[in-house]
């Protein structure tokens, strides 16, 4: 639930604005795109001139969402973005809470005179909006979108197609309700979405069963040849070099979810994925229980995120990144006890 006073303020902002822009984070996932397109669909029905601007492209497995083909990609449509932001009176920041999360789009946003509303569930928000809806207890930004839409009295605008966007966000951010999903409220919302007509089996299939052949081969290689365990910590990790990624015809999004697999091993409660890119090492972390991978990533890998799911970057060699993980993690575990 979002505070009534906040909802009233948000509605006032929406009422006053004609031109609205909705922005998800860089490398948007199911939650960011699901929330953006559900909100886009509602605002359109309210008669607004609304556009979704993504900092870069989004994965193909989200292309089924209504409005996906209208999403403006900042990387390839810069002049359109300048025009849209030049006339936008209201901007929504969805599923991120710091402007560094939208990369190059940040500079353009800072020039915009539009009002800002942030809706997000990550910890530690920066003060980036006139209205900040920041709920770290929410499973997904899509859960908050559901609250905003229903509490604003726009429930009847949430048709089956938009409800499927919301469901997709909750599903992807909770591993199909397998983690970060213990609050009863989530099931009341999912129940309501299914009642609206969401075909949850279809959404699951569209999102999770649309892998390319090369992605499945890469997953097999990653687990079969590139996964290791730490001896002095309940952790396992996967390392993929730039050359290996090329060999498997890697495309952005192909490694989505790889980091979760080591947690399927008995006795493993911390997992990491290291991927070498030309300019940096991208790192993902997952944990079960109380080990704060966001704090660990913040301290050693220029990153952050949630307690059980975080990302980071390392500037140095792949070997050095892995070495840092192997030496710092056991120390960090002891210091947290």
Segment lying near Mn ion (by CB under 5 A), choices 171-179, 183-191, 246-254, 266-274: 171-179
In whole angstroms, give the CA distance from residue 201 to residue 206. Answer: 9
What minimum distance in Å lies between the beta carbon of 58 and Mn ion?
Answer: 13
Residue with smallest beta-carbon separation from Mn ion: 31
What residues from 14 to 43 belong to the interface with Mn ion (CB under 5 A)? 31
133-152 footprint of Mn ion as x/- string (CB under 5 A): -------xx-----------
In terms of Cα–Cα distance, which of 70, 81, 68 is closest to 34? 68
What minimum distance in Å lies between the beta carbon of 31 and Mn ion?
Answer: 3
Q: Which of 20, 95, 219, 271 binds Mn ion (CB under 5 A)?
A: 95
Q: Does 173 bind Mn ion (CB under 5 A)?
A: yes
Cβ contacts of 144-147, under 8 Å, gap ≥ 24: 144/2, 144/35, 144/119, 144/120, 145/35, 145/38, 145/39, 145/94, 145/119, 145/169, 146/189, 146/192, 146/193, 147/1, 147/2
Residue placing its CB nearer to Mn ion in the complex, 140 or 148: 140
Question: Is residue 165 classed as helix, strand or coil in its secondary structure?
Answer: helix
Buried b (16+ CB within 10 A) or exposed e, 221-242: bbeeebbeebeebbbbbbbbee
Segment lying near Mn ion (by CB under 5 A), choices 20-28, 57-65, 92-100, 259-267: 92-100
Residue placing its CB nearer to Mn ion in the complex, 22 or 240: 22
Alpha helix positions (H), 60-118: 78-87, 105-111
What minimum distance in Å lies between the beta carbon of 159 and Mn ion?
Answer: 22
The alpha carbon of 331 is separated from its chain's Cα centroid by a whole number of angstroms, namely 29
Residue placing its CB nearer to Mn ion in the complex, 147 or 173: 173
What minimum distance in Å lies between the beta carbon of 173 and Mn ion?
Answer: 5
What minimum distance in Å lies between the beta carbon of 139 and Mn ion?
Answer: 8
Residue where the block lists tokens 């687990």: 223
Binding site for Mn ion (CB under 5 A): 31, 95, 140-141, 173
């Amino acid at each position: 639930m979002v505070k009534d006073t906040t909802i009233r303020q948000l509605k006032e902002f929406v009422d006053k604005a004609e031109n609205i822009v909705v922005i998800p984070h860089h490398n948007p996932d199911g939650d960011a795109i699901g929330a953006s397109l559900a909100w886009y669909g509602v605002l359109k029905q309210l008669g607004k001139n609304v556009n979704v601007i993504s900092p870069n492209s989004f994965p193909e497995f989200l292309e089924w969402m209504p409005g996906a083909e209208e999403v403006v990609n900042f990387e390839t449509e810069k002049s359109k973005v300048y025009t849209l932001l030049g006339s936008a009176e209201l901007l929504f920041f969805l599923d991120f809470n710091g402007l560094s999360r939208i990369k190059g789009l940040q500079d353009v946003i800072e020039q915009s005179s539009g009002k800002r509303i942030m809706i997000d569930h990550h910890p530690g928000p920066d003060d980036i909006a006139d209205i900040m809806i920041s709920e770290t207890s929410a499973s997904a930004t899509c859960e908050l979108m559901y609250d905003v839409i229903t509490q604003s009295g726009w429930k009847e605008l949430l048709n089956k197609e938009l409800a499927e966007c919301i469901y997709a966000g909750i599903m992807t951010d909770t591993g199909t309700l397998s983690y970060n999903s213990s609050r009863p409220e989530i099931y009341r919302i999912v129940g309501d979405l299914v009642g609206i007509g969401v075909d949850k089996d279809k959404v699951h299939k569209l999102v999770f069963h649309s892998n390319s052949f090369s992605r499945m081969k890469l997953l097999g290689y990653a687990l079969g040849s590139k996964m290791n365990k730490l001896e002095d910590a309940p952790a396992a990790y996967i390392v993929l070099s730039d050359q290996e990624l090329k060999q498997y015809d890697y495309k952005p999004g192909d490694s989505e979810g790889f980091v979760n697999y080591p947690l399927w091993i008995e006795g493993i409660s911390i997992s990491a994925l290291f991927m070498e890119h030309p300019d940096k090492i991208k790192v993902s972390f997952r944990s079960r229980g109380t080990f704060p991978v966001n704090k660990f990533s913040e301290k050693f890998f220029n990153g952050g995120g949630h307690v059980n799911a975080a990302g980071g970057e390392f500037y140095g060699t792949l070997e050095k990144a892995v070495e840092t993980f192997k030496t710092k993690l056991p120390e960090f575990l002891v210091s947290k006890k």
